[in-house]
């Protein structure tokens, strides 16, 4: 979704949604950081469970 909103050929003839693009990019980066953070705490626990 984020990559689609940044494509210029989809918004031909319309005003570019700059605010929406910025908010979507910030929320995407936040989601990626939270995923990495969650995985970095859970993966060692899972490895310790099977080891």
pLDDT value for 38: 95
Whole-model pTM over 0.85: no
Q: Residues near 48 by Cβ (< 8 Å), separated by ≥ 6?
A: none
At residue 35, the pLDDT reads 97
Q: Are 17 and 11 in contact (CB under 8 A)?
A: yes
DSSP E strands in the chain: the ranges are none
Chunk the chain into consecutive blocks of 10 residues (it has 51) and report each block's average pLDDT, rounded to whole numbers.
84 86 95 96 93 83
C-alpha span between 28 and 30 (Å, rounded)? 5
Residue 36, pLDDT score:
97
């Amino acid at each position: 979704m984020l990559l689609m909103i940044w494509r210029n050929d989809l918004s031909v003839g319309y005003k570019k949604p700059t605010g929406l693009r910025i908010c979507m990019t910030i929320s995407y980066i936040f989601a990626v950081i939270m995923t990495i953070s969650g995985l970095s705490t859970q993966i060692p626990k899972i490895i310790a469970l099977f080891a």
